[in-house]
Chain A
Amino acid sequence: MTDHGHDHDRTVKPMVDEITDFEVLEIALRELCIEKGIFTAEEHRRFTEFAEQIGPTPAAHLVAKAWLDPEFKKLALAEPMTASKEVGVDWMEPTGFGTPSDFTAFQILANTPTVHNVIVCALCSCYPRPILGNSPEWYRTPNYRRRLVRWPRQVLAEFGLYLPDEISVHVQDSNQKHRFMVMPLRPEGTQDWTEAQLVEIITRDCLIGVALPKAGVTTNVITDTRPAVHPGTAG
């Protein structure tokens, strides 16, 4: 959007910026649903607000706490939804039975010196949204979903993660009602770090299992983001 309530620079190419087919359909459906009482505008607003505040920060805190406190780690692995509450995530919110698409069966997969876990949903894009936020675009691609369950080491290598043969790969295809998240091992060089410091290096990609936490690395592997410009220019 470029309207700041004043004339645009005439030298700038005028933006066509037409409403897209999916925008039309979404607005039409939402209006009809509200008019028919299928849901109320207030319910839609409440869920929108809930969905806007989810993200990977609670998951990073959960792992950092587990690294610092062996008792909490035991709780996180045995009762992950109870442990989630300690980082501010109640899996039953906001409906009283959870976010419907994510269900309420959560499990944390702990890496060991000889096992590396990585998650995928080969059928759609099942992902632990309440504690990790929305999945990245690449996680939903047929490409990642097709290949990870069959060529995991190659796919991980494309993320820059080269695993030695002594570490076996455990791919978790979360295709039903369970949602999974990876608990990586605490890396070297973080001995005296605080929870806040540790959280910085526990990126979303580490929690999916396509990266390992490393002192000094605080960003995801994939950061290139294409701007959404319409109309598209296929072909």
Chain B
Amino acid sequence: MSTAAERAAQLDLVARLKSAYPELPDAPTPDLLDHERITAYLKPVHDVGGEPDAPMKYEDKQYELWEHMTYVICEVLAWRGIWLSEERRRIGNVDVGRAQYLGLPYYGRWLLAVARVLVEKHHIGLTELSERMAEVKARYGGGLAGKQLDATPKSQGDGSQVKRNEHHKRAVGKGDPQVYAGQAGQPKFKVGDAVVVRELPVIFYTRTPEYVRGTKGEIAAVAYESPAAEDETWDRPATPEWFYVVRFNMSELWYGYTGTTDDVVQTEIPEHWLQAAP
């Protein structure tokens, strides 16, 4: 049971959580938004490279058991063919939206991604999950009081009917991206080639960072073949393409760069995002 005051207080707390431009009303009419702001709202929220920020104190935090267990469950789900890493990276780092992305702990997002994929792929019902959460919470109702946190499954399922992906079998003994080797034909670019990163429209997902789009770089390495992240992340048949490590001169890349003219940043980009520099 909660009191009316407690409910009001929680709503007040939620109301202070802002992830919108303060100059705009909530759900603005289309005439109030320009292309730049629409792009900003649609930007995959994990793509933070180059966003301004002030120095902060870097420190470690005691690693908590649930954080470790969350890492493990994510990896085991990939091992057992429930999702690809690329699905996990999208669901936990982008699909969560800006408020949760910036507001929740790192492994909190990983864990929500686990719940999300299991529900979305029909492995677990959401009510079933809520009821189990209530049950677990009740087990530790009086506080931990020295009790170990532990999962106590009521049974062990046989799992033979669980729908699993192809990847977890075909990648065995090869690795990823090696499992895609030989499927992309000849690479279009070679080391030393000057390229421009295309400015493709982005909705939902990409791993080509915004900070290099529209800029000129140089191929530093022809890396491997793989489907592009935005194709692989939906676990549907996708054609592998070549990936390249592309080198960007930071004094050209960044307005007002304060380092030397030789400093570079390198990042990995799939072929369809690149074109030969004019």
Interface residues of chain A, those whose CB is within 8 Å of chain B, are 1-3, 15-20, 22-41, 43-44, 47-48, 51-52, 91-92, 94-101, 103-105, 122-125, 134, 136-138, 140-147, 149-154, 158-159, 165, 168-178, 222-228
Contact = CB atoms under 8 A, between A and B. Distances in A.
B85 A2 contact: no
Contacts of A125: 106
Given A23-B149, A225-B60, 11 more contacts: A1-B146, A2-B146, A19-B143, A22-B66, A25-B111, A47-B79, A51-B75, A100-B85, A141-B58, A154-B258, A227-B62
27 contacts: A2-B146, A3-B147, A16-B143, A18-B143, A22-B107, A22-B108, A23-B149, A26-B69, A32-B129, A35-B156, A43-B79, A96-B171, A97-B172, A100-B176, A101-B74, A123-B48, A145-B49, A146-B52, A149-B265, A165-B260, A169-B263, A170-B264, A176-B270, A177-B243, A178-B268, A227-B62, A228-B61
A224 B61 CA distance: 8
A44 B73 contact: yes
Nearest to B107: A22
Interface stretch (B19-27, B32-40, B158-166): B158-166
Given A29-B118, A168-B263, A43 B85 contact: no
Contact of B243 (A104, A134, A152, A176): A176
B72 A97 contact: no
Query: Which 8 A-B pairs rank lowest in CB-CB distance, beginning with the nearest?
Result: A3-B146, A37-B159, A37-B157, A122-B49, A104-B175, A100-B78, A138-B58, A168-B262
Contacts of A25: 111-112, 115, 133
Contact of B76 (A18, A31, A44, A91): A44
Interface of B: 46-53, 55-66, 68-80, 82, 84-85, 88-89, 93, 102, 105-108, 111-112, 114-115, 118, 123-124, 128-129, 132-133, 135-137, 140, 143-162, 168, 171-179, 207, 209, 211, 223-224, 226, 229, 243, 245, 250, 254, 257-260, 262-270
Contacts of A39: 76-77, 79-80, 159
A144 B254 CA distance: 17
Contact of B68 (A40, A51, A176): A51
Nearest to B64: A228
B19 to A, nearest CB: 14
A32 B128 contact: yes
